[in-house]
Structure 1
Amino acid sequence: MVSSFRIRVELDIRRDILWKVRATSAYMRFLRANGAIKRMESIDYRETGETTTSKSRTLLYVPANVNIPEMIAALIDDCYIEIRDTHTWDDAEPYVQYFTVRPNILQEVISTTGCLTMEEDMDDKTRCVHTLWGECNANIPLLGYYVEQAIISNMEAFYDTYNTHVKGFVKMIVNEFGDGTLASLDEAVERLLRDERPQ
């Protein structure tokens, strides 16, 4: 059984800014501190193709909020809900990123694959539209469909609150690296990037 999904979320950040900061350690730290992610580490970041613009990054993380039955949650620890998330993209063709997500256990039978795009909001260039689509496949007899729906439901729940985290990150950037106003965002991001390396 394979379940398709499409998730669309409007974000209060320009797409060029989000594209630049999404792979920084500052962004990863903020998502942890702000409660979006319980634990996260970058386990692989590299150039993948013949050019230096093709990149791959693998993250290992535990979502802060996972909707699973309480009976099951009481019996398992974080290693059972730890996620291995691999992104690939080409900086020469920005705003498109491909992903493969697997739980750290049952990697052979459960996978979520797809594409993420960032588009400018046609009415407000200071915002962007973040769209993910793809397929979830849980090759588990009798339970596969229910596992797929649970995974998609948890993805939707995460993105329901994602704009709150994005706005908080923008505020943090301008306060720490700019003059505290949105007018200083571009300069603040450049200062952040000088001190950062992709994660």
Structure 2
Amino acid sequence: MSSSQIHLEIDELPLAAASKRLSQLQQYFQPDNPRLETNPGEKGEKELDIIRERTMADKDPITCHVLNTYTGRPGAGILCVLTLVSSEVRPTSTTNKQPMFTATTDSDGRVKKWSSESDSLSISSILTQLPNRAGSNTSRSTWSLRLCGVDEWYREQGVEDCFWPEVEVRFAVDGRENEEGWRHYHVPVLLGPWNYSTYRGS
């Protein structure tokens, strides 16, 4: 076998692989592919609803994600406190405290589920109780997300002069779960020892 034949066969290998891959992609994008149907029909809609329900069951209506901008890694192991700050609903407990939930960020820096002092108290149940705003068919509430012990958390990483003992983000929540127009509330916090920023996530 000559060197030109070897060269030709080697050149043809990537072409054959590319051709096969192109064929696979064309099959994938065919209209009869059920994964890409724009109108999945009644059966497909039911399957989508089941997937949505399972996904939402894995997380509360309000979640957060902390990213450590100092190291470029997730902010794992930070105590977070979520509190209902203001709404038309008054606290019902004998202690007259506003509803409060706690969680510690996981290894990915996320809080998907919150805990409360009472097993019967949940973020969903609070949102459901909120009355509509005057002249509106939706509710509005203000929440506080506190990242506690931020200075100590950075000290454990060797940063002695962290500016924040804790970080608080206040935000408004409009509506209730399962209402038309409802969107999950996700609050990412990009956290550094001397700065932080946040935004409305999805």
Q: TM-score, normalised by structure 1?
A: 0.28
- Which structure has the greater CA radius of gyration? 2
- Which protein is richer in helix relative to its size? 1
Instruction: Kindly indicate whether structure 1 or structure 2 has the higher relative contact order, using CA contacts under 8 Å at least 6 residues apart.
Output: 1
Q: TM-score, normalising length from structure 2?
A: 0.28
